[in-house]
Structure 1
């Protein structure tokens, strides 16, 4: 076992237009150092002529932006070895001291082209759904449904044949949480929150979501509204908020 314990890798899933996972997910080789979330609240700043001191009027909470960087490396320096602390440090030091990106041996055949192409596919137009895939990013407590709005790839290092062996991809995503649920998460005392349910023994979030909406596909958004970090193990007696969706307002 690694001295760092069991390492959980970030996984990126591709979703179809119904929110179902498609194809093989992308499991990153090297986890990002961190990620950045940006939230914007929009106000109407317009004022009538000859008026002053009017307070801005709240308009809406915009979908959040989510940015993270992924490092792709085929040099071998970042491999985690199953050794004790002293052996691990010595191994890393030896790798760094002996590494030559221009060596002409079997190692020089390795590159990050395939990994980069998998990331590029996330911004490729898909004819069956008439847009790029919606994404689900899962890592630890993070479970985000989003659209990739920008992809920057910075190639850092190349082998003797001109193939990249190190690159950094910066992904900028837009939260795709349903507007009704996102706005409800701003104020849980909103009169729009007409559904409040108490968790009972044996309840699961998908099941409770199905009971409210007639469809379990909204359970991730409901988890986000209620700030549930571990929605797979609901504590009996917990109160959960289920904001109304357009499809349920006529029910």
Structure 2
């Protein structure tokens, strides 16, 4: 019988999720009953002249959201070694919420459940409700609502958000038989910018690129052409 995979949260001190925060990841005592992943698209409503309704023009794709509820049970029934509620809450908050002076912000976090669910993000909110108490008032059980936003580093956003944008620099491999206008069309979906690329690379030809292996496609503002 396969062992139970517990959800865990690992802290990271860099936005590329390479350097782990000191200490162990926080392992859940009880896995969530459900998780919610929210994806959305934002539009600007634009109404053309002489029309009765607005059309939606794409604006942006916000980061994905992950939310779920978890239970911390310190009665000793779930885990006889984990019976200190304050210690559990502190361990979790240190990873996901507490300000980290070394990086001047809370940690980046990776939420993992088995091999199928991995979410790199940052904490949006944490709500704690205590639901069971000892006679002296100290809490024995807590339900936590957690919400995270996906985090993608600015470097990765630049690479993935606009791979064909003329305002970014590209290094393009030249295939045999390709002309410069064809490469501009392939890279920027605009074959009219070949003169600027030829000038930047000191080319005196653009139809026959034999002997040329790579070209630099510099940032160009098509509206100024």
Smaller-chain TM-score range?
A: 0.5 to 0.7
Secondary structure of the 2:99 match is coil
Q: Which of 129, 135, 149 is the aligned partner of 2:124? A: 149
1:34 is matched with 34
Indicate whether 1:8 and 2:32 are aligned. no
1:179 is matched with 157
Output the CA distance in 1 between the equivalents of 2:121 and 2:2: 30
1:82 is matched with none
Aligned-pair Cα RMSD in Å: 2.9
Structure 2 residue ranges without an equivalent (≥5): 171-216, 219-225
* 1:181–1:173 distance in 2 versus 1, CA, 3 Å: farther
1:127 is matched with 101
* 1:77–1:110 distance in 2 versus 1, CA, 3 Å: closer
Secondary structure of the 1:8 match is coil
Secondary structure of the 2:130 match is strand
1:210 is matched with none
TM-score, L = length of structure 1: 0.56
The structure having more radius of gyration, on CA atoms, is 2
Compute the displacement of 1:35 (Å): 0.7
1:245 is matched with none
Indicate whether 1:117 and 2:85 are aligned. no
* 1:181–1:70 distance in 2 versus 1, CA, 3 Å: farther
* 1:127–1:48 distance in 2 versus 1, CA, 3 Å: farther
1:21 is matched with 20
CA contact (8 A) 1:113 1:163 kept: no
Larger deviation: 158-167 or 49-58?
A: 49-58
Output the CA distance in 1 between the equivalents of 2:105 and 2:53: 45
Structure 1 residue ranges without an equivalent (≥5): 80-106, 185-189, 195-248
CA contact (8 A) 2:73 2:83 kept: no
CA contact (8 A) 2:29 2:78 kept: no
State the aligned residue count: 160
Indicate whether 1:58 and 2:55 are aligned. no
TM-score, L = length of structure 2: 0.62
Q: Residue deviations 1:127-164, cap 9 Å, x none?
A: 21111111011112011110001000000111123211
Compute the displacement of 1:170 (Å): 0.9
More helix by share: 1
Compute the displacement of 1:23 (Å): 1.3
CA contact (8 A) 1:60 1:183 kept: no
